[in-house]
Amino acid sequence: MLINPHRGIQVPKDQIPKEYVGKYGVTNLWKVNLPDYWRMVYTIVGNELEIISILLEFMDHKKYDKLFRYRKK
Protein backbone atom coordinates (compact mmCIF):
# COMPACT_ATOMS: atom_id res chain seq x y z
CA MET A 1 0.00 0.00 0.00
CA LEU A 2 1.38 3.40 -0.95
CA ILE A 3 0.93 6.36 1.37
CA ASN A 4 1.45 9.96 0.34
CA PRO A 5 4.75 11.06 2.00
CA HIS A 6 3.55 14.67 1.88
CA ARG A 7 0.46 13.88 3.98
CA GLY A 8 1.39 16.28 6.78
CA ILE A 9 2.03 19.98 7.01
CA GLN A 10 5.51 21.11 6.03
CA VAL A 11 7.29 23.02 8.79
CA PRO A 12 8.99 26.18 7.45
CA LYS A 13 12.77 25.69 7.28
CA ASP A 14 13.45 28.52 9.73
CA GLN A 15 11.19 26.80 12.29
CA ILE A 16 12.89 23.39 12.22
CA PRO A 17 14.21 22.77 15.76
CA LYS A 18 18.00 22.90 15.99
CA GLU A 19 17.85 19.60 17.89
CA TYR A 20 16.65 17.83 14.75
CA VAL A 21 19.20 19.53 12.51
CA GLY A 22 22.08 18.63 14.84
CA LYS A 23 20.99 15.11 15.73
CA TYR A 24 19.55 13.91 12.41
CA GLY A 25 20.79 16.41 9.79
CA VAL A 26 17.18 17.30 8.93
CA THR A 27 16.70 19.71 6.02
CA ASN A 28 12.91 19.30 5.79
CA LEU A 29 10.34 18.52 8.44
CA TRP A 30 6.68 17.57 8.30
CA LYS A 31 4.09 17.26 11.07
CA VAL A 32 0.79 15.45 11.34
CA ASN A 33 -1.82 16.46 13.90
CA LEU A 34 -3.11 13.32 15.59
CA PRO A 35 -6.14 12.77 17.84
CA ASP A 36 -6.07 14.06 21.42
CA TYR A 37 -3.51 16.78 20.59
CA TRP A 38 -0.66 14.40 19.78
CA ARG A 39 1.82 15.23 17.02
CA MET A 40 3.96 13.13 14.72
CA VAL A 41 7.01 14.64 13.05
CA TYR A 42 8.93 13.12 10.16
CA THR A 43 11.40 14.01 7.45
CA ILE A 44 11.57 12.94 3.81
CA VAL A 45 14.74 11.75 2.08
CA GLY A 46 15.32 10.23 -1.32
CA ASN A 47 15.98 10.83 -4.99
CA GLU A 48 14.18 10.47 -8.30
CA LEU A 49 13.80 6.70 -7.84
CA GLU A 50 12.67 6.45 -4.24
CA ILE A 51 11.18 8.59 -1.50
CA ILE A 52 11.57 7.54 2.12
CA SER A 53 9.67 9.03 5.05
CA ILE A 54 11.54 8.75 8.34
CA LEU A 55 9.50 9.01 11.50
CA LEU A 56 11.40 11.09 14.04
CA GLU A 57 9.03 11.36 16.97
CA PHE A 58 5.53 11.11 18.39
CA MET A 59 4.84 13.68 21.11
CA ASP A 60 2.05 15.22 23.11
CA HIS A 61 1.05 18.83 22.55
CA LYS A 62 2.96 20.09 25.60
CA LYS A 63 6.26 18.63 24.35
CA TYR A 64 5.52 19.85 20.81
CA ASP A 65 4.99 23.41 22.05
CA LYS A 66 8.24 23.29 24.04
CA LEU A 67 10.29 21.82 21.16
CA PHE A 68 8.97 24.37 18.65
CA ARG A 69 9.19 27.18 21.22
CA TYR A 70 5.52 28.07 21.14
CA ARG A 71 4.30 30.04 24.11
CA LYS A 72 1.11 29.52 26.02
CA LYS A 73 -1.14 32.55 25.80
At 15 the three-state DSSP class reads helix
**Residue at 3 is within a domain:** no
pLDDT confidence of residue 38 = 95
CB 54 within 8 A of CB 45: yes
At 44 the three-state DSSP class reads strand
pLDDT confidence of residue 66 = 92
Q: Give me Rg for the CA atoms of the chain.
A: 13
**Residue at 4 is within a domain:** no
pLDDT confidence of residue 1 = 47
Averaged in consecutive runs of 10 residues, what is the pLDDT profile of the chain (73 residues)?
74 95 95 93 89 92 90 65
**Residue at 2 is within a domain:** no
**Residue at 31 is within a domain:** yes
**Residue at 54 is within a domain:** yes
pTM greater than 0.95 = no
**Residue at 62 is within a domain:** yes
The count of structural domains within the chain is: 1
> Could you give the count of Cα atoms lying within 13 Å of 73 in the half-sphere of its Cβ?
0
Domain with 63, as residue range(s), is 9-67
